[in-house]
Amino acid sequence: MKVIDHTKIFKRYKGQWVILDHSGRNVLAADHKLDKAIQKFRKKFGDREIPSTMKMPSELLPFVGAGI
C-alpha cells in the first residue's frame, strides 16, 4: 500500500468534500456540500464515473493506531 500525502489538498480544501482522480493526488471538484461538488464534477466531466470522494477534515488531529 502506497501512502499519499494530502497535506497540500488539506490546506486548500479544509472542511470541504473533494473528488479526487484515480491517483488520489489531484482534485477534480470540491465544495462544502457533497451534492454541489458532484454537480461541479458533472459539469466538467459529464457522466464519467466519480473516482474517489472524501471529506477533508476541518483540522488535523494526531492519530495513533491502525486500520484493517
- Cell 464534477, located at residue: 41
Q: What is the model's pTM?
A: 0.80
Question: What's the mean pLDDT in 14-32?
Answer: 95
Rounded Cα distance, 30 and 58, in Å: 14
Chain segment 25-63, per-residue pLDDT in tens? 999 999 999 999 999 999 999 999 999 999 999 987 777
Domain boundaries, the chain: 7-55
Measured between alpha carbons, how far is 47 from 30 in angstroms, rounded to an integer? 17
Question: Are residues 18 and 4 in contact, defined by beta-carbon separation less than 8 angstroms?
Answer: no
Q: Which residues contact 68 (CB under 8 A, 6 or more apart)?
A: none
